Amino acid sequence: MNFKKLTEAEASFFTFYPKGFEDEALLSIIKRHKTAKIGESVRELFAPEKFSCTEEIGESFAKIVSKSSLISLFEKPKVRDMVKAMSMEQQDMFAIGLYELLHADKEKGFNILVDVLSIYKLAKWSIVTLIPYYYARDKEFFIKPTTTKDIIKFFEISGLEYKPKPTYEFYMRYTQILQEMKSHVSPLIGADNAGFTGFLMMAMKK
């Protein structure tokens, strides 16, 4: 891991945005993504007590995907169609996967979710990590393939190989590295994890 590049990126960022993500120049971008507002909805829709109705969990999932600016327009209708096409058994497993991922056995939930999404060829990093990120924006990371590959290469992160199919092992290792990187920069950069990876994206474009 090249921490020198991270330090240089931080210095450059504050040259342009002295108040970090509270800087007025970035407010329009932050407002456009509505991460805080969607995060509130996700914590309400996927609270533990909401999982008594598995059909509603699928509908809530499709609802958040449709609202999120983090998911491509190409993927949104596919997710909506998947939720409509799910059998009762698949709805149950999908809800169990999300519950475990958010509230209980994280690894078990991650793997169940990937298995169910694989049936519909939607086991993609962006789809799997969306709800966990919104549920805990200071702890979980939204993983976007191109950005992830660029971060690993640019910051010279060794021992970590990106693969298109989501795996829990990579998810945990990568998020641990990002948390470590975040701990080395100002809180004005790292309050929201999507903001932090956005900062890394900006650093790579300099």
The Cα 197–Cα 147 span in angstroms is 8
**Segments making up each domain of the chain, as ranges:** 3-32+141-205, 37-122
Compute the average pLDDT of residues 64-73: 96
Indicate the SS3 state at residue 126: helix
Nearest to 1 by CA among 154, 139, 120: 154
**Alpha carbon distance 3, 49 (integer Å):** 42
10 Å CB burial of residue 24 (0-12, 13-18, 19+) is exposed
What mean pLDDT is reported for the chain? 95
Give the residue ranges of DSSP H helices in 71-167.
Answer: 76-85, 88-103, 106-119, 125-135, 145-154
Distance (Å) of CA 189 to CA 6, 160, 197: 12, 24, 10
For tokens 């805990």, name the residue.
136
Q: What is the DSSP letter of 19?
A: T
More confident residue, 25 or 45: 45
- Residue 206: pLDDT above 70? no
Residue 90 exposure: Cα atoms within 13 Å on the Cβ side: 14
- Over its C-alpha atoms, the chain yields an Rg (Å, rounded) of 17
Structure tokens, 182: 């975040």
Span 84-103, mean pLDDT?
98
The string of pLDDT tens digits covering residues 31-66 is 888 999 999 999 999 999 999 999 999 999 999 999
The predicted pLDDT at position 25 comes to 86
Q: For Cα atoms 203, 205, 206, give the angle at the middle one, nearest 5 degrees.
A: 70
The answer to which of 53-62, 79-88, 128-137, 181-190 has the lowest mean pLDDT is 181-190
